[in-house]
Amino acid sequence: MTERTCDLVVIGAGPGGYVAAARGARYGLDTVLVEKDDRLGGTCGLRGCIPTKALIQSARTWELCRKGARTFGVTVGEAAFAWDKVLKRKDLVVRKVSLGVAALVERSGVEVVRGHGRLDGPGRVVVAREGEDPLTITAAKVILATGSTTSRIPGIEPDGARVLTSDHLLSISAVPDSLIILGAGAVGVEFADVMNAFGCRVTLVEMLERIIPLEDADCSAELAHALGRKGVKIHAGHRASDVSVGADGVSARLTDVASGEEVTVTAEKLLVAAGRRPVTDDLGLDTVDAVVDRRGFVQVDGLMETAVPGLFAIGDIVATPQLAHLASAEAEVAAARAAGRAAAPLDLDRVPGCTYTSPEVASVGLSEAEARARGHEIAVGRYEFAALGKASILNEPHGFVKVVKDTETGSVLGVHMVGPHVTDLIAEACVALGAGLDAERWARVIHPHPTLSEAVAEALHAANGEALHG
């Protein structure tokens, strides 16, 4: 048994873990980062955010060549896509991002240990290493950042052939002729849009009453209309059961949650996109006094510390939104506390969410329904991209910006967007809400013309009762 002593050990090298390790090292802590994968980046970098967005960009380019170029007066010859090259580009993007993470960690002075890390009591981590003796690391502070894995639906077991997870679909050898997707959160709708763009007939199933159910209802409706225009068949408010796999494909029985009516859908393959669960099963949590809820999430306080002093948990293994950027923000808090520095709890009402469909969806703050449920008297301002010059220039007229304002205080409670490049545009709203700009002051900010950002200003004017162009 080999031993190592350090100030901080981090288990998991995703967007939470590598940020925590790098920041801890830059705070002067002797830091060890434990990762079982041969590459750094975690699910987001290797099997999630980055590869899916690479596929999405290829899909957008293909759609432009196939249908959109003529609108701009450009004639494209015999356009075609090569799926193997699409996958190759995706892999190159993933490799580049992973190498960037590795370089950052190295520059920060972090020691990386390859293997499966497991707690062995407070302040002790045992790393099982392939071909080497186990390494026992003793540290004053430990940060757990082991991420999540795909959830399973009882009775529906992925086999990698007909029934797939997102991991399978990211490396599928050919675009299927047809695909059933169970789950219409961000992962489900993004894959629906990508596969549809490459010619796959998609059936999208969601048990709740609308797709992207965590977003504002208007955003859900707008995206549903957009996907429907493209030919995606949507069954919201339906529960899937009796999945049957045969030589020619897969079928599923869908039951309307409200009426009980049933319909059977068939396809070449089926994707399970029903959320993610924390990876805490083999983490050694039974060797410490950390509290784990029935779903497997580690309970932490506002500064990401567990019930065990010096033991922190961040990212997808805690019961906060499973978003890479939130994991990184939690990492900053945990690393600061591990180094004995001041830190403040994160405001979970101001965590942005992004969905990279076409049109894109983005939001920050309270939805209209959430604001009303909390007792706010509100005004809603909405501006359609169809009325905006830059959207016409881009030939992307669908969508809107929606502002939810508290009429008593003038504060902006939430901003919700559907449309071109809104996953970038939402950053303005994040800054404004974080800085405490009220709707009046924010509306007076001069927005450049012609830009998509003008839609934000117009929605603010509308919320203030001073709509001009809308």
- Say what the pLDDT of residue 153 is: 87
The answer to whether the peptide bond before residue 359 is cis (omega within 30 degrees of 0) is yes
> 32-73: per-residue pLDDT in tens?
999 999 999 999 999 999 999 999 999 999 999 988 888 999
Residues sharing a CB contact under 8 Å with residue 305, sequence separation 6 or more, in sequence order: 311, 312, 334, 337
Q: Which residues contact 242 (CB under 8 A, 6 or more apart)?
A: 252, 253
Distance in angstroms (rounded) separating the CA atoms of residues 95 and 101: 10
Q: Would you tell me how many other CB atoms lie within 10 Å of the CB of residue 395? A: 11
Name the E strands within 83-166.
Answer: 111-114, 116-119, 124-128, 135-144, 148-150, 163-164
Mean pLDDT over each residue of the chain, to the nearest integer: 97
What count of Cα atoms within 13 Å lies in the side-chain half-sphere of residue 205? 27
Instruction: Give yes or no for residue 122 having a pLDDT over 80.
Output: yes
List beta partners, residue 117.
127
pLDDT in tens, 229-254: 999 999 999 999 999 999 899 999 99
Give tens-digit pLDDT for 35-46.
999 999 999 999
Q: Which of 74-88, 96-110, 365-379 has the lowest mean pLDDT?
A: 74-88
DSSP 156: B
DSSP state of 67: I
- For the entire predicted model, the pTM comes to 0.95
Tell me if 2-149+277-338 shares its fold with 163-274.
yes
The Cα–Cα gap between 147 and 384 comes to 38
- What is the band of 470 on the pLDDT scale with cuts at 50, 70, 90? low
Q: Is the dihedral of CA 222, 224, 225, 231 positive or negative?
A: positive
Q: What is the mean pLDDT of residues 219-229?
A: 98
Residue 269 pairs with which residues in a beta bridge? Answer: 179
Domain boundary assignment for the chain: 2-149+277-338, 163-274, 359-463
Q: What is the pLDDT of residue 18?
A: 99
What's the mean pLDDT in 132-138?
95
Confidence of residue 182 (pLDDT cuts 50, 70, 90): very high
For residue 132, the tally of other CB atoms under 10 A from its CB is 12
98 alpha-carbon distance from chain centroid: 18
Where is 364: in which H helix or E strand? strand 360-365
* Confidence at residue 245, expressed as pLDDT on a 0 to 100 scale: 95
Q: Helix, strand, or coil here: 205?
A: strand
CA 257, distance to chain mean position in Å, is 27
Provide the residue type at 251 as one letter. Answer: S
Copy the structure tokens of residue 152.
């399973």
Which CATH architecture does the domain made up of 359-463 adopt?
2-Layer Sandwich (3.30)
Give me the active site residues, please. Answer: 449
> Tell me, what amino acid is at 296?
G
Task: Report the pLDDT value the prediction gives residue 393, as an integer from 0 to 100.
Answer: 97
Rounded distance, CA 301 to CA 306, Å? 6
Provide the 8-state DSSP code for 145: -
Asked if the model's pLDDT at residue 1 lies above 80, the reply is no
- End-to-end CA gap in the chain: 70
Estimate to the nearest angstrom the gap between the alpha carbon of 309 and the chain centroid: 30
pLDDT at site 172 = 97
Domain 163-274, CATH class in plain words: alpha beta
- Summarised one tens digit per residue, pLDDT across range 348-404 is 999 999 999 999 999 999 999 999 999 999 999 999 999 999 999 999 999 999 999
The pLDDT > 90 percentage for the chain reads 94
Q: Is the pLDDT at 76 greater than 90, yes or no? A: no
User: Are residues 97 and 14 in contact, defined by beta-carbon separation less than 8 angstroms?
Assistant: no
Please give the CATH superfamily to which domain 2-149+277-338 belongs: FAD/NAD(P)-binding domain (3.50.50.60)
pLDDT band for position 152 (50/70/90)?
A: confident
pLDDT attached to residue 260: 96
How much is the pLDDT for 195?
Answer: 98
Radius of gyration of the chain (CA): 24
Query: What is 252-318 written as a DSSP string?
Result: EEEEETTT--EEEEEESEEEE-S-EEE--TTS-GGGS---B-TTSPBP--TTSB-SSTTEEE-GGGS
CA 328 to chain centre: 13
- Beta carbons of 277 and 270 less than 8 angstroms apart: no
Two tokens, residue 378: 């509100």
